[in-house]
């Protein structure tokens, strides 16, 4: 999808950035879950992730609705 929504010549850097964010997320999510499970319940982590993903959906919808 990145080549279709970016300027010509920017697809490779865009895919690289997306991959870096995804790799960082695959480290953070388990780490945050471990901290919350050690604290007693993963409830806060689930609320945090739900809020984060909701914000991402809203931001993307707003961004692409302007096109």
Range of the domain at 13: 6-65
Alpha carbon 13 to chain centroid distance? 17
Average pLDDT for 2-18: 79
Within a domain: 1:
no
SS3 content of the chain, % helix, strand, coil (to 5): 85, 0, 15
Within a domain: 14:
yes
Within a domain: 29:
yes
Within a domain: 23:
yes
Answer whether 0.75 is exceeded by the pTM: no
Within a domain: 44:
yes
Domains of the chain: total? 1
Does 3 score more than 70 pLDDT?
no
Residue pLDDT, tens place only, 15-65: 888 888 889 888 999 999 999 999 999 999 999 999 999 999 999 899 888
Does 66 score more than 70 pLDDT?
yes
């Amino acid at each position: 999808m990145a080549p279709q929504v970016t300027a010509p010549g920017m697809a490779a850097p865009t895919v690289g950035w997306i991959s870096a964010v995804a790799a960082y997320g695959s480290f953070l999510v388990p780490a945050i879950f471990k901290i919350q499970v050690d604290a007693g319940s993963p409830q806060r982590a689930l609320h945090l992730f739900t809020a984060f993903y909701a914000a991402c959906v809203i931001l993307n919808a707003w961004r692409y609705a302007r096109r």
